[in-house]
Structure 1
Amino acid sequence: MLTAVIGALGGWTMYHGYGVGVAFAVLLAVVQSAPLLLAVARPLQAWWIMMAADLASTAVLLHAPRLDGNSWPWPPAVILGQLVLLAAVARRERRPALVTVWVVLTASGLVVATASPHNRDSTDLLLAVLGGGILLVGRVLRERHEALQRLGEQQLIAESERARHTLLEERARIARELHDVVAHHMSVITVQADSAPYRIAGMSAVAQEEFSAIAVAARHSLSEMRMLLGALRSEDRDDERAPQPGLDGVPHLVEAVARAGVPVSLVLDEVTEFRGLIPPMVELSVYRIVQEALANVVRHAPGAPTRVGVTLPPDHSSLTVLVTNAAAQRSAGTLESVGTGNGLVGMRERVRLLGGVLETGPTVNGGFRIAARVPLPAPPHKETPDA
């Protein structure tokens, strides 16, 4: 559209204003406006073509019958076409190219204006000032766009690294806790295997060798595990050597939150009666999930009525943890208003490592719900005398 408008304006101005012949007017109008078609893909090359066409037009206009009283050296169509193309150049090209374009444009206008100084009406200076302003503004806008783009990329990278760091930290903590649980049972196996020849009378030599091999394998496994996870353990922290919490610590969490002003109800169902069916790692994960969920209630929904439930189905095939809270009863004030989501990442990672599922999301009454389901191993079947 701009090509057609500027071409028509240039041809009409040359023919009616400057008195140029129809053939020359049409030819120059087409040559001057056609480079605009390349403005999107190759603006710099298009500008050089237009600049050559504009200089050629000044040679024709210099001998035009009605040059006196008209603009010199640049007609209105030339100025309009140059400004449009300069805007495209400023958007695509680098700073050295922009400086070169402005210098060539300004020098060409000053040189051509001296060919007919009595007709000069300062259109060369007008185009130099307007063109320089467009190049400057276009360059500033482009640099701002590039800076915002780089900032957005850095933010994406930072968020990705932060999520990755959080995930690695949580995995490291789970690995340490898993090490503690497995190390306990492996230690028991080692002690039992080493003491079996002394506890069981009349044991054959083959059985003693078998128990000895079991003890050696258990100690070797413990040594390899400690070497593998040694980098994850902080030797100067006493809290990592403390016994890991389990289901018996959940009531203490509820009591602590209740003292903080959050009305909390706890339902443990028959879980406490079947503690022997729940592995220590599952107990620890349930404790951490309830701990993080209640911490989120204190931070984001102070005073909201909350319900904590840990239940077992009739077949005892899984353990379900459900923490729901209603809408906040009062403003969070200076507490956190926007969470980082690290707690939910830790919950999801724990449940996933145990082969379970986690569902989180808002409720219809404006509260929040966290539900986790963790499968439990099948209880060992006792052999009957007939078997």
Structure 2
Amino acid sequence: MDYTLKKNKVMTSITSSSYAVHFNETAYLRLNEHLSNANYSKIFILVDENTHNFCLAPFMAEIHGDYDFEVIEIEPGEINKNIETCTQVWEVLSELDADRKSVLINVGGGVVTDLGGFVASTFKRGINFINVPTTLLSMVDASVGGKTGVDLGALKNQVGVINQPEMVLVVSSFLQTLEERQMQSGFAEMLKHGLIKDHSYWNELKALSSLDAIDQLIYHSVTIKNEVVLQDPTEQNIRKILNYGHTLGHAVESYFLESPKHELLLHGEAIAVGMILEGYISYKLTGLSKDELEDIKATFLSNYPKVSFSPEDIEAILKLLKFDKKNSHGNINFVLLNKIGKPEIDVKVSQELLVESFAYYKN
């Protein structure tokens, strides 16, 4: 796919429960207004090594005013999204005299915004934070909805809170800093939005040969996620549909994160596997048609390399399912599809069918 980006478009801000998602030029305008009015004692900017090198300077150039900034850098990658990194950031905040009137601006991908949001939500029982997602994945997914947190070892997002930022700033020019593989990772979450909510959007995305209309596509995905989150902020019911592909996908991602014999999978690559697996289970349990199942499989396999699983891999992955956040009363709860655009939540799946889904993926 061609990842050449056209000039940013002006788009209306999307209002969520207690904050707004602002885009491109409007994002910087609203940020400057906010900083001018908020009277923060100190402004901290959390980055990782990549966003420090490629995103921090252009971001800072758009901030107008004389403020007391401190930049905190963490190591990049999911492997560093843990409580040890949080402790380091908390300690730096303390050493630099952060108080409850400080703000933390998280400039980075999902690791930075998830971890930074959690750090801010817990430091001195909570300081303000602003998310500036710089990857496609974090723009369409990680920075919307107030989920913050870190991994526990290789287990995804086991520790965290739901807490809303002051604002989210989506500036699509940051995407020019990304490798194609990172863009593809984010594209998987966009495809998911079509599968759970909008068949026509799914058809539009799978037919793309380029992402030159990326602003409108990001806007559509953020709108879909925001509509779901507004109905169910704390994921008691309908918000669970956003986890389609993630029950098995997160287990695959966690296994590859801790297995020395496998290369790491990016989040979107693992979720792509999960969406095929859970598509097959949907075909067997909840009425997804054979044609739609084959459509899902063909779309993901045309966009993502096929992953090889040994019987031992599959056994280990399935053991990780017991740590999924949607579980309750000892049951593993899946989000499945009745058809594309119509999901069903809290479906129980047998061990035999889980194993069978990997055989379908393999063949």
- Fold shared, TM-score > 0.5 on shorter chain: no
* TM-score for the superposition, normalised by structure 2: 0.21
More strand per residue: 1 or 2? 2
More helix per residue: 1 or 2? 1
Choose between structure 1 and 2 for higher RCO, CA contacts under 8 A separated by at least 6 residues.
2
* TM-score for the superposition, normalised by structure 1: 0.20
